[in-house]
Amino acid sequence: MPRINPRQLAQNLRQGLYPLYVVTGDEPLLVQECCDNIREAARKLGFNERELLHGENNFDWGQLLSAAGSMSLFADKKIIELRLPGGKPGDKGSKALQEFANNASDETLLLLVLPRLDRSQLNSKWVKALESRGVLVQIWPVDASEMPRWIHQRLRANGLNAEPEAIQILAERVEGNLLAASQEIEKLKLLANDSVITAETMSNAVASSARYDVFGLIDKALAADAAGAVRTLQGLRAEGVEAPVVLWAIAREIRSLLEIQKKLDEGQPLNRLVRIQKRQPLVQAACQRLHPSHLESFLLRARAVDNAIKGGREMDPWAGLLELTLNLSGKRSI
């Protein structure tokens, strides 16, 4: 079966259900929506039972094969959803997945959710085995140049229309965060009144999106205002901002600081690396305060928080976000 992208999934599901689906990518919103669409299509065909497995370190791969063989004579069809945050099943996992693929039946559906796979992983025996019996959905990041088109399509799908300038305002505001863009579009549905969304309406909508702003959180942390950053974090949580949105902003800034430090060491000027003038002193102070080794350790912690958000680790994601906020502010975590 050819590999497909999220836009092709709906048509693929209408043509019939396969016993195996592999969803791979690093865009949480698109991954979630693809999984939702697959589950919904399966439920319409009688897959009313669902078993969720987390393939972390020391995962017993016998659970996967056991789940496939545990159905009774009168049981409903079953969805087996396996989340593999690391993306690498190892030797035991590879053999188990190949065995599952070889014995796939119409009574079970495997939904395997992974981060983006590199070329060597895509060419591995276990991926090839799964593809031979199912569908691989590849989710690629939406870059800055594609973001206005993605927002326009999303608006149209929600019955909305907007001026090009309004779309550009939203694209700049969310800076590549699809989840944040989707949330803004949901709010715009309340403001549209069946008319075209103007640039003025969009500006007012995104400016009043939250009293505690994720970008304000980042700026306070860069300024070493730990107390202010923590208050903003608490405000974001109280206002119902989703943890993945906050994590995205923090992780994005950490990666940006690492890249800026590398280019500063190569002799490039800060004003060329940071175009927004008011942020230059904040970034400069953070680069002087935080060593690259610190930032790399923060990224590892961010991955752990992402794992917790996805249900693969027993920890409070907001506790992890608090720790990252303090770290980025130059403070040790409590």
pLDDT digits (tens, 9 = 90+) for 12-34: 999 999 999 999 998 888 999 99
Whether the predicted pLDDT of 114 surpasses 50: yes
Query: Within this chain, do residues 201 and 310 fall inside the same structural domain, yes or no?
Result: no
Look at residues 138, 81, 136 and name the one whose alpha carbon lies nearest to residue 111. 81
189 with 238, same domain: the answer is: no
42 has a pLDDT exceeding 70? yes
Is the separation of the CB atoms in 34 and 137 below 8 Å?
yes
**From CA 191, how far away is CA 169, in angstroms rounded?**
16
Domain for residue 97, yes or no? yes
Query: Do residues 108 and 30 both lie within one domain?
Result: yes
CATH number, position 120: 3.40.50.300
Residues 244, 170: Cα–Cα separation, whole Å: 19
- Report if residue 333 sits inside a domain: no
Phi-psi sector, 331: left (phi>0), alpha (psi -120 to 50), beta: beta
Q: Is residue 44 in some structural domain?
A: yes
| Residue 190: inside a domain | yes
187 within domain boundaries: yes
Span 88-100, mean pLDDT? 91
DSSP string, 57-76: TT--THHHHHHHH---TTPP
Residues 200 and 120 in one domain: no
Give the lowest-confidence range in 2-6, 297-301, 324-328. Answer: 2-6
Query: Is 310 found in the same domain as 238?
Result: yes
Read off the pLDDT of each residue in 61-80 and give the average, rounded to a whole number.
76
Q: What percent of the chain has pLDDT over 70?
A: 93
- Place 1 in a pLDDT band, splitting at 50, 70 and 90: low
Going from the C-alpha of 56 to that of each of 4, 81, 129, the distances in angstroms are 26, 14, 21
- The listed range with the strongest mean pLDDT (68-82, 89-103, 208-222) is 89-103
Please report which confidence band the pLDDT of residue 6 belongs to, taking 50, 70 and 90 as the band edges.
Answer: very high
Same domain, 51 and 152: no
38 falls within a domain = yes
Measured at the CA of 133, the angle between CA 110 and CA 116, to 5 degrees, comes to 65
Rounded-to-integer distance, Cα 264 and Cα 266, Å = 5
| Residue 90 and residue 33 share a domain | yes
Boundary-marking domain end, from 110, 139, 168: 139
Q: Domain limits at 66?
A: 6-139
> Cβ neighbours of residue 46 under 8 Å, at least 6 residues apart?
76, 77
CATH number at residue 242: 1.20.272.10
Residue 334 lies in a domain: no
Backbone angles phi, psi at 23, to 5 degrees: -110, 115
Mean pLDDT calculated for residue range 70-76? 58
For 295-325, what is each residue's pLDDT tens digit? 999 999 999 999 898 877 778 999 999 999 9
Q: Residue 192: inside a domain, yes or no?
A: yes
* Same-domain check for residues 134 and 151: no
* Helix/strand/coil for 209: coil
Same domain flag for 10 and 75: yes
Q: 296: left (phi > 0), else alpha (psi -120 to 50), else beta?
A: alpha
Q: For residue 212, what pLDDT band results from cuts at 50, 70 and 90?
A: low
299: exposed, middle or buried (C-beta count within 10 Å: 0-12, 13-18, 19+)? middle
Residues 15 and 135 occupy one common structural domain: yes
- DSSP tally for the chain: helices H, then strands E: 17, 5
Domain finish residue from 88, 109, 139: 139
* Same domain, residue pair 153 and 124: no
Do 219 and 174 fall within a single domain? no
pLDDT value at residue 266: 87
Total tally of structural domains belonging to the chain:
3
What mean pLDDT is reported for the chain?
Answer: 87
Task: State pLDDT tens for residues 154-205.
Answer: 999 888 999 998 898 888 777 677 888 888 898 888 877 777 888 888 877 7
Rounded (10°) angle between helices 164-174 and 147-157: 110
CATH classification of the domain holding 188: 1.10.8.60
Q: Of 118, 139, 160, at which residue does a domain stop?
A: 139
